[in-house]
Copies of this chain bind each other. A is one copy, B any other.
Amino acid sequence: MSFEDLDLRHLRALIAVAEETSFIGAAYELGISQAAVSQQIKGLETAIGVRVFDRPGGPRPVTLTPAGRALLDHARTVMDLLDSAEQELSDLASGTGGRLTIGTYQSVSVQLLPDVVSRFLAEAPNVAVGLTEHARNEDLVDELLAGQLDVTFLAGPYESDDLDLTTLGTDPFVLLLQADGELAHAHPGRRFPTLELNDVLMVGEPDPQYGAASMTAGLRALGVRPRYAFRSYDNGAQQGMVRAGVGPAIMPLLATDPSDPGIVVKTLDPPLEPRTIMLATPRGATRAPATDAFIQIAKRECRERLALARP
């Protein structure tokens, strides 16, 4: 008994004959000749090694054997499965269904993504949106290339031959100060001189390799060497430490909560090269229509909210 030679034709014939209780009826149903149905069933029985129909002969209807009944169940399930696959592919092709898994990182998750997702869902309400958050670009890229993500946000600048990249806009680095702290009153109404941060104990991220890489590099280029009194990946925790007076923090604007009365947001002078917010898909890979739609909506949303990157 070997299922190797099994074919969907066999299963279709099995179902048709079982429904019509006759080979001739099944032949009409399938649009082929009776002889063909006869050979199909014979082939099926040869493949699986058991008879699936009793043929009483004459005008009496053919009946399923126990093995035929068992196989018929499975055959019907297979057909249902293929039908649902067809439905899913059709949804996927029209962008009106299926699944869209998005990679993201914290500041985007909190400030930007909710609006983009809600806009997207307004246009494609039956798409199941999934989110996966990582702190490091590399983790996001790994999952993207492994096929676990359809599209991912990245903190730029970022270059890779493996990715198709879209720049959504820039997210300037700003200085967070305790609202009633000493530094907050040092330059009222004006920009904060970046150089004055030299040797100040600050709040920042544990590993400068992460999202804050370009910030660290920018500071160093100005001759400012940051020192850290507290480090956390969590933007809320950083802002909380600023509010508590642990020290100032340089953060991407999107990562801050400017409505917090306990802090003051200041622009730096000279400014640091702003962080870029990018979307990435695997290089050359076919994108589902839903993915394209998401990218378009993200671009539109960001055009309204973020300063565009310089060419």
Among A125-157, those with CB < 8 Å from B are 147, 150
* Cross-chain contact B71 with A286 (CB below 8 angstroms): no
Does A90 belong to the interface (CB within 8 Å)?
A: yes
- Contact (Cβ within 8 A) A82 B78: yes
Counting every copy of the chain, the complex holds 2
Q: What 1/0 mask marks residues of chain A from 280 to 292 whose CB sits below 8 Å from any chain B CB? A: 0010111110010
Chain A binding surface SS class: helix
The answer, among B6, B51, B64, for a CB contact under 8 Å with A82, is B6
**Chain B CB within 8 A of A209 CB:** no
Identify which of B1, B90, B284 contacts A86 (C-beta below 8 A): B1
Q: Is A7 an interface residue (CB 8 A)?
A: yes
The 6 closest A-B pairs by CB, nearest first: A74-B85, A66-B288, A65-B286, A3-B86, A54-B285, A70-B88
Residues of A within 8 A of B (CB): 1, 3, 6-9, 48-51, 54, 56, 63-67, 69-71, 74, 77-78, 81-86, 88-90, 92-93, 98, 147, 150, 282, 284-288, 291
